[in-house]
Amino acid sequence: MNECSAPNAAKHAQIIEAAVAEFQEKGFAAASMDRVSARAEVSKRTLYKYFESKENLFRSIVVELSNRFAGVLDIRYEKGRDIREQLIELAWAEGRILMLPEVMAMSRMVISETLRNPDLAAAAQGKLDKTAIFVSMLKDAAEDGQLRIDDPQSAGQEFIGLIKAKAFWPMVFTGSVLSEAEMTATIDSSVEMILSRYGI
């Protein structure tokens, strides 16, 4: 069965939003599909038409969150193009998503639940981790002679870590998001640090 078995995107989003609030407040184990349907203001029949179980609903939230980051997957290294511009572009692909309040709400819910339920954590981690895109960019740039990197895996983790250190993890605790100016400063600082460490 598909994650969403009906075509009404607005109704689907309404249920997802209600489920995020329910899981975040009650935790996965104590969450109730009855309360999700009440929060979403839909009948139980409609809820189960979209999501056959609580587990399916949780997986759908992870998929939805992963889809929000899909734009990052489209970023590829362009041979010969200025590396600073490319690193800024990649960082903004991640940063723009981290500025969306609904993304932060979903992230907080998924993180809190995976801490309680390690079995859910592995599946969620695989869908949400975009470090490989950062690693690929830095590896290709090094092979093109624009950076000097012996360990692209570590460098990619450092790059995305610099962004998330200011734009994600503090926000997990507060529930807020960075402003455009704050994100700009975070990205500029992160790119400068990578270039200072690995630039030619």
CATH number at residue 26: 1.10.10.60
Question: CA of 157: how far to CAs of 18, 52, 151, 177, in Å?
Answer: 33, 37, 10, 22
Q: Count how many domains the chain has.
A: 2
**In the structure, what pLDDT confidence band is assigned to residue 3 with cuts at 50, 70 and 90?**
very low
Residues 34 and 97 in one domain: no
CA distance 125 to 128: 5
Whether 20 shows a pLDDT value over 70: the answer reads: yes
Host domain of residue 166: 69-198
Residues 32 and 112 in one domain: no
CA distance 153 to 161: 12
pLDDT (tens digit per residue) in 58-87: 888 888 877 777 767 788 999 999 999 999
Residues 40 and 83 in one domain: no
Residues 38 and 124 in one domain: no
Residues 48 and 96 in one domain: no
pTM of the full structure:
0.77
φ, ψ for residue 120, nearest 5 deg: -75, -25
In sequence order, the 6+-apart residues with CB closer than 8 A to the CB of 51 are 3, 4, 15, 57, 60
Residues 25 and 104 in one domain: no
Percent of the chain having pLDDT more than 90? 55
